[in-house]
């Protein structure tokens, strides 16, 4: 594995630990706030039928609900954060590889959700999205999707470049050590389609 | 002077070479092994032994094999909930060439693979 990716992996693991310990601390604080008498005492909402409230409070207090909501929000924030951002060494690696194969001047737009869009000549583009430790335990997998292509024998062209075609897009899952060579093949396949 | 048929073959071999070199070690080893033992199919455990894979065969299924299947390079049939039969896709325009070459020139390698599969 590439040095940058090793760094990114270490960073990813480190962040996980930090996030977990932060969650523990924040969870404890929230527990203290909601369950110490007199700090927060949520009144039942007015619009709620009072019979329901009485029945409900036998099972759980409104503070309990608020506590679990707070915990849920923390977990949600963490998962959004990991979904949205790639550790920066991995982003540098990805950009470097894509620039290396498609030229230093190529325009790459990075967007939230670990996605990259490479603009090619003639209005075509390639979408590259990265997943960290996806299924099967492989670190840093990429999914390559080309822009919509039209022409004859697309299926055969896709197969001959080690890809499959889905709704008119060349598509493939590649691992990090294949990113370079298979992006090259994808670009070649798109040139082939455009030339015909 | 090369004939049309020879040119087609050369082109396919060129593309096959390019395809094989674009894949990583694991995928390349899988395709080579499956190409040699064609038309036999193997289970996940046998395959991981053939390619010298150290991880669990289950992790092969969820990553590499699924992706190879998506790209129509291999075919996976589920025999029972836990037993799969994996073979190379002979209909693939380039892997068909690989299979032909393996059958023509790879008899020794094939027997090595088969022997490795039998040992338990």
Does the pLDDT at position A100 exceed 70?
A: yes
Instruction: State the pLDDT at residue A104.
Output: 85
Query: Which of B63, B70, B92 lies at the smallest CB-CB distance from A135?
Result: B63
Instruction: State the pLDDT at residue B105.
Output: 93
pLDDT tens readout for residues B36-49: 998 888 888 888 88
Question: In chain B, which residues have their Cβ closer than 8 Å to the Cβ of A181?
Answer: 21-23
The encoded tokens of residue A56 equal 């409900």
Give the mean model confidence (pLDDT) for residues A144-159: 87
Contact of A114 with A83, CB cutoff 8 Å: yes
- Which residues of B touch chain A, with CB atoms under 8 Å apart? 15, 18-19, 21-24, 27, 55, 59-64, 66-67, 70-73, 92-94
Q: How confident is residue A134, by pLDDT bands cut at 50, 70 and 90?
A: low
Q: What mean pLDDT is reported for chain B? A: 87
Does the pLDDT at position A9 exceed 70?
A: yes
> A172 and B71: CB-CB below 8 Å?
yes
Does the pLDDT at position A145 exceed 80?
A: yes
Q: Cα–Cα distance between A132 and A167 in angstroms, integer?
A: 26
CATH 1.10.10.10 holds for B4-118: yes
The encoded tokens of residue A6 equal 């090793």
Per DSSP bridges, beta strands A115-119 and A107-111 are antiparallel
Does the pLDDT at position B33 exceed 80?
A: yes
Q: Domain limits of chain B?
A: 4-118
DSSP letter string, B69-120: HHTTSEEEEESSSS-EEEEE-TTSTTHHHHHHHHHHH-HHHHHHHHHHHH--
Per DSSP bridges, beta strands A164-166 and B84-88 are unpaired
Return the minimum-mean-pLDDT range out of A56-70, A175-189, B34-48, B74-88: A56-70
Give the mean model confidence (pLDDT) for residues B12-22: 92
Give the mean model confidence (pLDDT) for residues A50-67: 78
Percent of chain A past pLDDT 90, that is, above it, reads 12
Does the pLDDT at position A148 exceed 60?
A: yes
pTM: 0.81
Which of B67, B73, B88 to mutate to probe the A interface, most A CBs <10 Å?
B67
Q: How confident is residue A132, by pLDDT bands cut at 50, 70 and 90?
A: confident
DSSP letter string, chain A: --HHHHHHHHHHHHHHHHHHHHHHHHHHHHHHHHHSTTT--PPPPTTS-HHHHHHHHHH--HHHHHHHHHHHHHHHHHHHHHHH---HHHHHHHHHHHHHHH-TT-EEEEETTTEEEEE-GGG-EEEEEEESS-GGG-SSEEEEEEPP--SSSHHHHHHHTT-EEETTEEEEEEEGGGHHHHHHHHHHHHHHHHH-
Per DSSP bridges, beta strands A164-166 and A169-175 are antiparallel
Instruction: State the pLDDT at residue B65.
Output: 87
Does the pLDDT at position B99 exceed 90?
A: yes
Name the phi and psi angles at A152, rounded to 5. Answer: -95, 160
Query: Which of A159, A172, A181 lies at the smallest CB-CB distance from B21?
Result: A181
pLDDT tens readout for residues A76-88: 998 888 888 888 8
> B66 and A185: CB-CB below 8 Å?
no
The encoded tokens of residue B98 equal 């690989």
Instruction: State the pLDDT at residue A50.
Output: 77
Instruction: State the pLDDT at residue A136.
Output: 58
Instruction: State the pLDDT at residue B9.
Output: 87
Cα dist from A95 to A59, A114, B70, B110, whole Å: 54, 12, 26, 41
Does the pLDDT at position A135 exceed 60?
A: no
Task: Print burial letters for A92-115: b (CB count within 10 Å at least 16), e (below 16).
Answer: ebbbebbeebbeeebebeeeeebb
> A134 and B22: CB-CB below 8 Å?
no
B83 burial via Cβ count (<10 Å: 0-12, 13-18, 19+): exposed
Q: What mean pLDDT is reported for chain A? A: 85
Give the mean model confidence (pLDDT) for residues A116-131: 87
Question: In chain B, which residues have their Cβ closer than 8 Å to the Cβ of A160?
Answer: 15, 19, 93-94
SS3 B42: strand
> B93 and A138: CB-CB below 8 Å?
no
Give the mean model confidence (pLDDT) for residues A41-52: 74
Q: Cα–Cα distance between A39 and A176 in angstroms, integer?
A: 51
Does the pLDDT at position A49 exceed 80?
A: no
Residues 6+ apart with CB under 8 A from A20: none
- Count the Cβ atoms, other than its own, within 10 Å of residue B22: 20
Give the mean model confidence (pLDDT) for residues B50-58: 77
Give the mean model confidence (pLDDT) for residues B43-68: 81
Instruction: State the pLDDT at residue B18.
Output: 92
């Amino acid at each position: 594995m590439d040095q940058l990716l090793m760094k990114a992996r270490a960073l990813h693991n480190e962040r996980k630990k930090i996030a977990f310990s932060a969650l523990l601390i924040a969870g404890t604080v929230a527990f203290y706030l909601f369950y110490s008498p007199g700090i927060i005492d949520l009144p039942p909402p007015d619009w709620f039928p009072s019979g329901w409230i009485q029945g409900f409070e036998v099972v759980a207090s409104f503070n309990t609900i608020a506590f679990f909501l707070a915990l849920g929000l923390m977990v949600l924030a963490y998962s959004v954060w990991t979904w949205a951002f790639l550790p920066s060494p991995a982003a540098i690696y990805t950009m470097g590889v894509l620039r290396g194969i498609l030229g230093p001047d190529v325009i790459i737009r990075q967007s939230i959700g670990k996605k990259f869009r490479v603009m090619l000549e003639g209005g075509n583009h390639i979408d590259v999205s990265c997943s960290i430790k996806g299924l099967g335990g492989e670190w840093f997998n990429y999914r390559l999707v080309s822009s919509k292509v039209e022409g004859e024998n697309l299926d055969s062209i896709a197969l001959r470049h080690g890809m499959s075609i889905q709704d008119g897009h060349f598509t493939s899952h590649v691992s990090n050590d294949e990113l370079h060579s298979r992006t090259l093949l994808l670009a070649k396949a798109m040139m082939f389609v455009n030339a015909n | 002077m090369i004939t049309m048929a020879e040119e087609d073959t050369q082109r396919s071999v060129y593309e096959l070479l390019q395809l094989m070199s674009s894949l990583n070690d694991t995928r390349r080893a899988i395709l080579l092994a499956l190409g040699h033992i064609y038309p036999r199919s193997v289970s996940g455990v046998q395959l991981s032994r053939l390619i010298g894979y150290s991880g669990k065969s289950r992790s092969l299924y969820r990553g590499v094999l699924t992706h190879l299947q998506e790209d129509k390079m291999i075919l996976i049939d589920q025999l029972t909930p836990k037993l799969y039969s994996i073979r190379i896709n002979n209909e693939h325009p380039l892997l068909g060439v690989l299979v032909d070459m393996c059958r023509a020139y790879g008899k020794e390698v094939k027997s090595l693979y088969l022997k490795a599969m039998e040992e338990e």
